[in-house]
Structure 1
Amino acid sequence: MPASLIPDEIFDCYRQITPEYLKSRNITLLLSDLDFTLAAKKTRRPDQSLREWIAALRRSEIDFMIVSNNRSGSRVTEFCADLGVPYEGRAGKPSPKGLRRAMARAGVDCAHTAMLGDKLLTDVLAARRAGVLSLMVEPAGGAVTAWQRVLHAMQAPFKAACRRRSGENH
């Protein structure tokens, strides 16, 4: 099955994805990448803004789970424990298997699930392959290394196509 690399929606940052927006799309489970999506890669603890955003999701009865490719679980484990959220580690994105495991754990089907991430070749492709709404954000902390700058430059045409299709710029 062919899968598009064009995300369904692009936002500047996770805080723009409101419970109202998710409810309007019938989303009851939001899966999210961690690194460069919710926090810069080296960030060990969630900040207050992220805590408040997660609390707003909970108040709106939207489940939240981190789905990470990190091989070392210690940082992700600490981060998620501090937030009080579950996570699915070693997800193997762009394979949809990690997303499917997370949906099974939450008891939610793909029609009511969204995946949030910052990379087309892992997060968006996994979302597309799993049949869930794909939401993309600009990388938290920016593209730091030369490879990250190249990777993000390569994503530009796909992000532009999404913006043209949606006719709006979050």
Structure 2
Amino acid sequence: MTKDLSQYPIEGHLTPVGALTFSKSGGWWRAIVHSEDEYGNEKVRLYLWHDNDAKGWVTKHKWNIDPEHWPAERRVVADHVGAAVDADTPYFPVQHYNVVGGQTVKKTDEWWTAVVQYEDNYSSTHKTRLYMWQLENDDAKGTGYKWNVRSDTWPEERDAVNRYVEHLQ
């Protein structure tokens, strides 16, 4: 039986060519989707959608996997997920949270990728998130990509991305 890839609510200019659902329950859907754009360029993204009764599945978080940078991202995440808080916390342009640690993975004139540890008002423990900010004149314009890294789900997500990245090379 062939999986109906059209069910994955990704951007309209992308066509899914492969996908793996990690979980879909309680109004939340977490998956990795391998897609192509109209020019044949491949994309691999982690997605988190929420079921909004009025709008259907709405993207809450997504993370663009760049095979060239994935090994560095994976290593930095491994260093920070569940790790102790960093005493010398660098600056990251994160709103609404108290940043308590993290590390830049890559920074160019256009993009800044980092793993950030933060605390929110709902929990006494810190959390880890991958962030990618678009930069303009060295100022962060916004976070088009972010992904919550949870110690209970990260191994499955990491391994699935590893398989897709190997397939692309």
- Length-normalised TM-score, structure 1: 0.29
Which of these two proteins has the greater Rg computed from alpha carbons?
Answer: 2
Q: Which has the higher strand share?
A: 2
Higher RCO (C-alpha under 8 Å, 6+ residues apart)? 1
TM-score by length of 2: 0.29
Higher helix share: 1
